[in-house]
Every structure is written in structure tokens, then in C-alpha cells.
């Protein structure tokens, strides 16, 4: 029988979680990043097709490759963050239907025959997985700084290029030339300096209707 999480857990995931712009000088280990993914992957997606793809940008060299794509206000905090995750999605996610939805692999044809449905499905479910990513990070004691202030085209050209003459391959999970960035998320152990008072949220009565 399932039970509600306790107050402390709910505070950590939601009520006291903040968007951090500064982080402590603490390493985020490979093992922690792996644990993060191993949690987020269980969140539901349409037909279990899991379009999200992630690049963890941690080295100084990789951060410098990211720098030109960042909006001016996001440069310093991103360069200083222990890790910046590029939350992206595979625009041919459905090529893995035989593996991820084996009881009905023909669902691939739905997306092949309707590029518009494929694109909206990839973006919507990749965004859902990005939300699972944030909650998984918080559950592991990490803090997050998600942001959209960057040039997607520059990130895609730098980190997901289409080499000349390459056809988009269906044989790899993250092949070159078919991944698109969605948003960035700085990761680490937050430093409370610079945090502003928490902004208000809309009430249940303003946004919800029970019918």
C-alpha cells in the first residue's frame, strides 16, 4: 500500500526547492548523474518511447563550447555551475519502438506517417522527462537551475551536428543529426546567496476546476 511522502520530502521536492543561480564548489560525481537518470527514466511517456536525451556538460572545455550559445545573463552562472545538462530530444525517437513498445512495434508507423504528430510527441514527452529530471535531481539532494535563455540552433550545431553526407541513422540511441535541444539545467549543490524571496503562485481556485 502506498503512503504519502512525509513533509520533509515534499518540502525538498516542491515547497522549499528553488531555482539556483549559484552553487557550492562541490563535485557532482558520475555516479550521482547515473543515479539521476536511473530515477528519471521511470517517468511515463507516450507509448514508453522516451524521447529525451541528455548531455552533461561538466569539463571546462565543454563549457567553453556552450558559452557562445548562452544569453548574456546566463553566462557566468552556467560557467560556474558544476554541471550543465542539455535536455534534448530525439526527433526519430520512434525508431526504438520495437525495443521500447515490443507488444505493438507498429506504432512507429503512426509517427513515420505524420511528422507533425512525431514532432509534438517528441517535444511534449521530452519536456515531461525534463520535469522528471528536475524532481529526480532534487530527490538526490541536488539543486537545479533550469533555463531557456540560450540559442537552440547554436547548441544543436555544436553538440548535435549533422555531418556532411550523413543520413539520420536508426541504429543508435543518440545518433548524430537527429537530436534537438529543449532547455538547459544547471546542477549542483545550491548556494543560497543571491536567492530572492519566493515569488507567489496561483491558487487552486484560480487554476483548477473539479467537474
pLDDT value of residue 176? 56
Question: Are 22 and 77 a contacting pair, CB within 8 Å?
Answer: yes
* pTM of the model as a whole: 0.92
165-206 pLDDT per residue, tens = 544 444 445 555 689 999 999 999 999 987 989 999 999 999
* C-alpha grid cell, residue 88: 534534448
Phi, psi (degrees; rounded to nearest 5) at 165: 80, 0
CATH 3.40.109.10 is right for the domain spanning 28-191:
yes
Compute the distance between CA of residue 83 and CA of residue 79 in angstroms, rounded to an integer.
9
Q: Is 88 helix (H, G, I), strand (E, B) or coil?
A: strand
Sheet of strand 83-90: strand arrangement: 52-57, 83-90, 179-188, 143-147
63-74 pLDDT per residue, tens = 999 999 999 999
**Position 151 confidence tier, pLDDT thresholds 50, 70, 90:** very high
pLDDT value of residue 164? 53
Q: Is the pLDDT of residue 28 over 70?
A: yes
Report the chain's mean pLDDT, rounded to a whole number.
94
pLDDT value of residue 52? 98
39-50 pLDDT per residue, tens = 999 999 999 999
Amino acid at each position: 500500500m502506498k503512503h504519502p511522502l512525509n513533509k520533509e520530502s515534499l518540502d525538498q521536492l516542491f515547497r522549499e526547492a528553488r531555482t539556483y543561480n549559484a552553487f557550492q564548489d562541490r563535485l557532482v560525481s558520475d555516479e550521482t548523474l547515473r543515479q539521476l537518470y536511473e530515477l528519471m527514466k521511470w517517468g511515463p511517456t507516450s507509448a514508453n518511447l522516451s524521447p529525451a536525451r541528455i548531455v552533461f556538460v561538466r569539463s571546462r572545455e565543454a563549457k567553453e563550447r556552450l558559452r557562445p550559445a548562452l544569453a548574456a545573463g546566463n553566462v557566468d552562472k552556467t560557467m560556474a555551475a558544476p554541471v550543465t545538462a542539455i535536455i534534448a530530444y530525439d526527433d526519430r525517437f520512434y525508431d526504438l519502438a520495437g525495443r521500447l513498445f515490443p507488444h505493438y512495434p507498429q506504432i512507429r508507423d503512426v509517427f513515420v506517417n505524420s511528422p507533425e504528430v512525431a514532432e509534438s510527441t517528441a517535444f511534449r514527452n521530452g519536456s515531461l522527462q525534463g520535469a522528471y529530471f528536475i524532481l529526480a535531481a532534487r530527490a538526490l539532494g541536488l539543486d537545479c537551475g533550469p533555463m531557456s535563455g540560450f540559442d537552440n540552433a547554436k547548441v544543436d550545431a555544436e553538440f548535435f551536428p549533422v555531418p556532411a553526407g550523413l543520413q539520420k541513422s536508426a541504429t543508435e540511441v543518440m545518433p548524430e543529426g537527429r537530436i534537438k535541444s529543449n532547455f538547459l539545467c544547471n546542477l549542483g549543490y545550491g548556494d543560497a546567496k543571491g536567492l530572492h524571496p519566493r515569488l507567489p503562485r496561483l491558487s487552486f481556485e484560480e487554476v483548477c476546476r473539479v467537474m
